């Protein structure tokens, strides 16, 4: 068995310890004589799984008691519609568009109300985060929306926008649990888990209780109402049980590693290895404004399409897979989420150095 270094933007690497544990429990979870896949979501065993997953996430992120944690389906993209349907009370929201995911969320919100694009970095292929210290926030905006880490472009908010008192909603699909977050800065945080936490099929919503309402937009499907899901503790219908079980294992694993302060330290060190190399390299260069660089997604180019393709091909052969950049950007992208070991990045940089020498 040979594990590769998988630099995919998502779905992406999971901790080997977690995969091994899941394998051990595949046929018989904790003496139940069945796999978690075969188990009733109303069973005692599953109840324990989902409750401890929630508690461990609360511990990791220091989630205050007045926030609900929901384990839902439909991916992060489903939330692009659920958010305006549930949170647009006045029918108005302000969107900061820093990449494709924020843009999709904005476009979806336009279908349900008055969504304002109050800032964007589209003029420079989303290679920076706009100054958000004094934006024209709408008087009657129900919320301000950001994508906290831009998976495709490799930028991240190092400072939160000044929302002038409005509720902040954030998509943290690609940087959740990579560093501590002050949950109280947000009305709602959500993340599709397949980037930094677990298997695709689960999206987690962390939402302040006062934002959970019954009088949501006319026509909102029952399943998309946060109230439905909150009242049923995420068990309104059959949840993505196996995915939640794996997420729970990852939460436990992160706690064991020392929590989010420790992850931040580790991720900063890891990303620095790659950024330092890119800054010094004559062949490769990063595509993002240095101050807005993501710790999780690192796009880079050689400036020559054929050279890029040659690099991706040779890297793949050497066991560094999924380094091809997103189709909208080209070049390369190394996604170095929590589960990418330091050694993976060190070895990648060694490989890039060798490639640079050979192709000088
Ligand atoms: C991947 C990604 C999405 C889309 O996730 P799905 O679960 O496939 O809908 C949304 N936002 C961000 C930031 C992402 O990285």
Q: How many CA atoms lie within 13 A of 160 on its CB side?
A: 19
Indicate which residue's Cα is closest to atom 4 of ligand 1: 76
Give the residue numbers annotated as catalytic, written as ranges.
Answer: 101, 171, 195
Position 328 scores a pLDDT of 81
Q: Which atom of ligand 1 is nearest to the CA of 174?
A: 15
CA 249 to ligand 1 center in whole angstroms: 21
How far is residue 106's CA from residue 5's CA, in Å, rounded to a whole number? 34
Of the candidates 320, 325, 344, which has an alpha carbon nearest to the alpha carbon of residue 270? Answer: 344
Q: Which atom of ligand 1 is nearest to the CA of 148?
A: 13
Task: Report domain 17-257's class.
Answer: alpha beta
Residues of the chain scoring pLDDT < 70? 1
Tokens 């049980």 appear where? 241
CA 77 to ligand 1 center in whole angstroms: 6
Q: Are 46 and 37 in contact (CB under 8 A)?
A: no
E strand or H helix at 52: helix 44-61
CA 205 to ligand 1 center in whole angstroms: 13
Give the 3-state secondary structure of residue 110. helix
The 10 Å Cβ neighbour count of residue 17 is 15
Strand order in the sheet with 168-171: 67-72, 203-208, 188-192, 168-171, 144-147, 92-97, 114-120
Distances (CA, A) of 105 to 100, 171, 176: 9, 9, 18
Indicate which residue's Cα is closest to atom 8 of ligand 1: 75
Indicate which residue's Cα is closest to atom 5 of ligand 1: 76
Q: Partners of 149 in the beta sheet?
A: 156
Indicate which residue's Cα is closest to atom 12 of ligand 1: 173
Structure tokens at 255: 């706690």
CA 146 to ligand 1 center in whole angstroms: 13
pTM of the model: 0.98
Q: Is the C-beta atom of 195 inside 6 A of ligand 1?
A: yes
Of the candidates 186, 345, 205, which has an alpha carbon nearest to the alpha carbon of residue 274? Answer: 345
Q: Is the C-beta atom of 100 inside 6 A of ligand 1?
A: no
Q: Where are the domains of the chain?
A: 5-15+259-359, 17-257
Of the candidates 138, 151, 168, 146, which has an alpha carbon nearest to the alpha carbon of residue 96? Answer: 146
Q: Are 230 and 208 in contact (CB under 8 A)?
A: no
259's torsion region: left (phi>0), alpha (psi -120 to 50) or beta?
Answer: left
Q: Is the C-beta atom of 192 inside 6 A of ligand 1?
A: yes
Task: Report domain 5-15+259-359's class.
Answer: alpha beta
> Is 238 buried (19+), middle (13-18) or exposed (0-12) by CB count in 10 A?
exposed
Indicate which residue's Cα is closest to atom 2 of ligand 1: 173
CA 283 to ligand 1 center in whole angstroms: 31
Of the candidates 162, 205, 191, 192, which has an alpha carbon nearest to the alpha carbon of residue 67? Answer: 205
User: Which residues are CB-contacts of 139 (< 8 A; sequence separation ≥ 6)?
Assistant: none
Position 327 scores a pLDDT of 86
Position 329 scores a pLDDT of 84
Position 260 scores a pLDDT of 98
Residue 1 DSSP symbol? -
Position 1 scores a pLDDT of 63
């Amino acid at each position: 068995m040979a594990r590769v270094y998988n630099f995919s933007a998502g779905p992406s690497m999971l901790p080997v310890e977690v995969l091994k544990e899941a394998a051990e429990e595949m046929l018989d979870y904790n003496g139940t004589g069945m796999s978690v896949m075969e188990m009733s979501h109303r069973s005692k065993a599953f109840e324990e799984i989902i409750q401890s997953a929630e508690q461990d996430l609360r511990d990791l992120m220091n989630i205050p008691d007045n926030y609900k944690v929901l384990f839902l389906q439909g991916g992060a993209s489903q939330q692009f519609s659920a958010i305006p349907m549930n949170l647009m009370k006045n029918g108005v929201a302000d969107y900061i568009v820093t990449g494709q995911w924020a843009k999709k969320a904005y476009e979806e919100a336009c279908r349900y109300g008055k969504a304002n694009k109050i800032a964007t970095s589209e003029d420079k292929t989303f290679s920076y985060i706009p100054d958000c210290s004094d934006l024209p926030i709408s008087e009657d905006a129900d919320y301000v929306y950001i994508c906290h880490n831009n998976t495709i472009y490799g930028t991240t908010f190092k400072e939160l926008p000044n929302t002038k008192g409005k509720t902040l909603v954030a998509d943290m699909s690609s940087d959740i649990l990579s560093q501590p977050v002050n949950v109280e800065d947000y009305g709602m945080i959500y993340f599709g888990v397949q980037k930094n936490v677990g298997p695709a099929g689960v999206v987690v919503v962390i939402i302040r209780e006062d934002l959970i309402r019954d009088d949501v937009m006319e026509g909102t499907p029952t399943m998309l109402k946060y109230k439905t899901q909150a009242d049923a503790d995420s068990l309104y219908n059959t949840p993505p049980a196996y995915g939640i079980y794996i997420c729970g294992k990852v939460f436990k694993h992160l706690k064991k590693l020392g929590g989010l302060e420790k992850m931040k330290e580790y991720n900063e060190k890891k990303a620095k290895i790659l950024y330092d190399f890119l800054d010094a390299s004559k062949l490769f260069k990063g595509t993002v404004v240095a101050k807005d660089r993501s710790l999780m997604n690192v796009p880079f180019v050689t400036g020559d399409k054929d050279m890029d393709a040659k690099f991706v091909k040779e890297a793949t052969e050497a066991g560094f897979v999924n380094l091809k950049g997103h189709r909208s950007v080209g070049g390369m992208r190394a996604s170095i989420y929590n589960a990418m070991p330091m050694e993976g990045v060190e070895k990648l940089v060694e490989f890039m150095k060798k490639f640079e020498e050979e192709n000088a």
